[in-house]
Amino acid sequence: MKSKSQSASGGLNIIIVGCGKVGIALIEQLTKEGHDITIIDKNAQKVHTYTSLYDIIGITGNGASFSVQQDACIESADLIIAVTGSDELNLLCCTVAKQVGHCAAIARVRTPDYSEESAYLREQLGLAMIINPDYETAHEITRILSLPTALEVNSFAHGDAELVKLRIPDGNKLCDLHISELSRHFSAKFLICALEREGEIEIPSGNTILKSGDKISFVATRKEARKFLKQLGFASHHVKDTLIIGGGKTAYYLAKQLLAQGIEVKIIEQDTKRCEELSILLPEAIIINGDGTDDALLKEEGIATCESFVPLTGIDEENVLLSLHAKNISNAKAITKINRNTFTTTIDSLDLGSVIYPKYITTEAIIAYVRAKKNSMNSNIETLYHMFNSRVEAIEFRIENKSPVTGYTLSTLSLKDNLLICFINRNGQIIIPSGQDSIKVGDTVMIVTTHSGFNDIEDILQK
């Protein structure tokens, strides 16, 4: 076995325990970013498959075993990420690793009981992060339902700024306008930072002309985002009710968050025992015991009149068909959960409303941590989102020290192509920048780019 005492690539030495959907997504992204990866899984076939596909080391065994971790060179690892299907195994993997090595540790934890104690567990076990994909997925769906005309809503600057994605309808006020003309037509303060047209991605300039059918992402404060949507003729209020199909963990977290906002929740779940559990856990929600794919039941429970519809079954095909059905017979805002990332071109061509990929929501937080761990000391990554099927990155950097980007007007900086500086957050004030603005120490700065793998704010500059 080759030694992992030092990464030849200059990246980090990372051990990933568990080759499920999240583990595979992490392998794909982290190998692409130049890190040295060792995977551990009990399934020998999975280990063989992924070591053949990627230039990584694979070990078959129990990731919580002291000897298995030693085989994976835990003593020289920078980070261990435990993403098996068992919360207890993930926490044990990290606990053993912290005792044996000197690495940081991240555990995926899905059980609500543990999630409510995540801060305590993280502190007591010395973990860098505990991440719950079901909770994070529910949180993302909640954000979208707060602005249902949007396809995606991502938050930055601790919620003070939003990145909103929408499709331009036929005959909309945006059609056939140059981006440079928008300030004359709209009083809201915003910046269009990415555009997809017929499958092609563009970081737009002032000369870009907007067309019907374009998918655009824009940045604004929460208040200005809603003002802009209102000026476009889009609804800017959150939904009043939602119909959820499937009563799993994500449905539980989602219902809890929506009920806290005063939104009525109805869940259709086939398993009688789970219905009884949800009735106790969510006394304010309406829990229906039945088959969520039954057309007659859906009609009876109000699919034609509900304001939002969220299929959260464990089967992608069911979720897709249910969303298509809802879009066909109602005006409900549909949100479709997809676990696999195959057939994305076909999925993008369907009218599914907003599409959510839980594994990417999980991996983005981990990748942001990895990049922050690798970076120089001039800045740190606060927030990271992938957009447009991972072809665009939106990154918020915290500026911690003076660097070649600080103290100069933006117009004088030699920036890479296909990159926009979208906002500067200075003491809670969101600045949509002009060429005369500058970046200062203490700011956070959000950029959008088609480049990938930025670790530090200096990466925005041409070398």
- For residue 23, what is the domain's CATH number? 3.40.50.720
> For 102-121, how does the pLDDT look when each residue is reduced to its tens digit (9 = 90+)?
899 999 998 888 877 888 88
Cβ-proximal residues to 298 (8 Å cutoff; 6+ apart), any chain: 243, 268, 292, 325
Q: What is the mean pLDDT of residues 366-393?
A: 84
**Domain hosting residue 259, numbered range:** 241-356
Query: What is the count of structural domains for the chain?
Result: 3
Q: Pick the last residue of a domain from 356, 386, 404.
A: 356
- Segment among 49-53, 211-215, 248-252, 451-455 with least mean pLDDT: 451-455
In whole numbers, what is the pLDDT of the chain averaged over residues? 92
In a domain, 176, yes or no: no
pLDDT score at 6: 42
Please say if the pLDDT value at position 305 is more than 90: yes
pLDDT score at 442: 95
What's the pLDDT band for 371 if we cut at 50, 70, 90? confident
What's the pLDDT band for 453 if we cut at 50, 70, 90? confident
The answer on 304 and 405 residing in a single domain is no
pLDDT score at 5: 41
pLDDT score at 167: 94
What's the pLDDT band for 345 if we cut at 50, 70, 90? confident
The answer on 41 and 113 residing in a single domain is yes
pLDDT score at 409: 96
The answer on 397 and 367 residing in a single domain is yes
Q: Count the helix, strand and coil residues of the chain and give each as a percent rounded to the nearest 5.
A: 35, 25, 40
Q: What is the mean pLDDT of residues 1-12?
A: 53
- For residue 376, what is the domain's CATH number? 3.30.70.1450
In a domain, 253, yes or no: yes
Please say if the pLDDT value at position 219 is more than 90: yes
The answer on 351 and 255 residing in a single domain is yes
Q: Pick the last residue of a domain from 114, 131, 148.
A: 131
The answer on 343 and 278 residing in a single domain is yes
In a domain, 272, yes or no: yes
In a domain, 201, yes or no: no
CB 83 within 8 A of CB 22: yes
Please say if the pLDDT value at position 378 is more than 70: no
Q: What is the mean pLDDT of residues 446-458?
A: 93
Q: How far apart are CA 240 and CA 307, in angstroms?
A: 7
Nearest to 16, CA basis, from 83, 67, 115 = 83
In a domain, 389, yes or no: yes
Please say if the pLDDT value at position 3 is more than 50: no
What's the pLDDT band for 362 if we cut at 50, 70, 90? confident
In a domain, 326, yes or no: yes
Q: What is the mean pLDDT of residues 310-330?
A: 95
| Helices within 163-263 (DSSP H only) | 182-185, 222-232, 249-260
Q: What is the mean pLDDT of residues 291-298?
A: 95
In a domain, 233, yes or no: no
- Token pair listed for 449: 């780019």
Nearest to 107, CA basis, from 15, 37, 34, 25 = 15
The answer on 300 and 263 residing in a single domain is yes
pLDDT score at 1: 37
pLDDT score at 266: 98
What's the pLDDT band for 186 if we cut at 50, 70, 90? very high
pLDDT score at 9: 52
Please say if the pLDDT value at position 376 is more than 70: no
The answer on 394 and 307 residing in a single domain is no
**What backbone torsions phi and psi does residue 56 show, to the nearest 5 degrees?**
-135, 165
> For 231-274, how does the pLDDT look when each residue is reduced to its tens digit (9 = 90+)?
999 977 889 999 999 999 999 999 999 999 999 999 999 999 99
The answer on 368 and 349 residing in a single domain is no
The answer on 382 and 341 residing in a single domain is no
Q: Pick the last residue of a domain from 101, 131, 161.
A: 131
Please say if the pLDDT value at position 388 is more than 50: yes
The answer on 365 and 351 residing in a single domain is no
Please say if the pLDDT value at position 4 is more than 90: no
Run of H or E including 398: strand 392-399
Q: What is the pTM of this model?
A: 0.86
pLDDT score at 2: 38
The answer on 388 and 316 residing in a single domain is no
CB 298 within 8 A of CB 292: yes
Please say if the pLDDT value at position 154 is more than 60: yes
Any idea of the CA torsion for 40, 42, 44, 49, to the nearest 10 degrees? -50
In a domain, 167, yes or no: no
Task: For strands 308-311 and 79-82, give the pairing.
Answer: unpaired
Q: What is the mean pLDDT of residues 379-408?
A: 91
What's the pLDDT band for 372 if we cut at 50, 70, 90? confident
> For 70-102, how does the pLDDT look when each residue is reduced to its tens digit (9 = 90+)?
999 999 999 999 999 999 999 999 999 999 888
pLDDT score at 8: 47
The answer on 349 and 256 residing in a single domain is yes
Q: What is the mean pLDDT of residues 292-308?
A: 96
Q: How far is CA 443 from CA 35, 133, 170, 407, in A?
A: 29, 29, 39, 11
Please say if the pLDDT value at position 458 is more than 70: yes
